[in-house]
Structure 1
Amino acid sequence: MNIAVIYSDNSQECERACQLLTSLGAKYRVYYVNDEFSYQQFQMEFGCDAHFPQITLGSKHLGGLKDALHYLKEKGYLSRKPKSTS
């Protein structure tokens, strides 16, 4: 998996995105609004209707957390492993 980038406002949804990527063993970088970018820059990059978090994987913009979940499931990153019966 490519390195992911999360554009965050420190919300609970952003924390969930970090937890998801951590659980998958993915490498990621978090950029925080008002630290690494302004809200105006965020809107210029992702649009006025965009919400936090916004997630990119390599050069592909996935969108919000739900969009990222759909993409990761589609690509097989979220396939469930069978439970062991022993």
Structure 2
Amino acid sequence: MRYADRIHTKLTQALAPVTLIVDDQSAAHAGHGGAAPGGETHFEVTVVSAAFAGKSRVARQRLVYDILKDELAERVHALSVKTLTPEEVA
């Protein structure tokens, strides 16, 4: 399974997001540190979920990083995370 799919599946199962965007930006980082042949090393993730309600920005990001700890340990070199509640989008 591709890493983008793994990220999408894990975040969907853990956070039940109303919006989830997983953008593989690896091509833009080819030749940079952490880039690997075949890509799937640099991602930007936007998650809109009620699970973030009452949590600080740092706590939200820690939650996402914890959910994706295996992917970060294996191949994902860089992960940019944007976390919002549905109310913050409206």
For Structure 1 versus Structure 2, the TM-score category normalised by the shorter chain is: 0.3 to 0.5
Task: Specify which structure has the higher proportion of helix.
Answer: 2
TM-score, with structure 1 as normaliser: 0.33
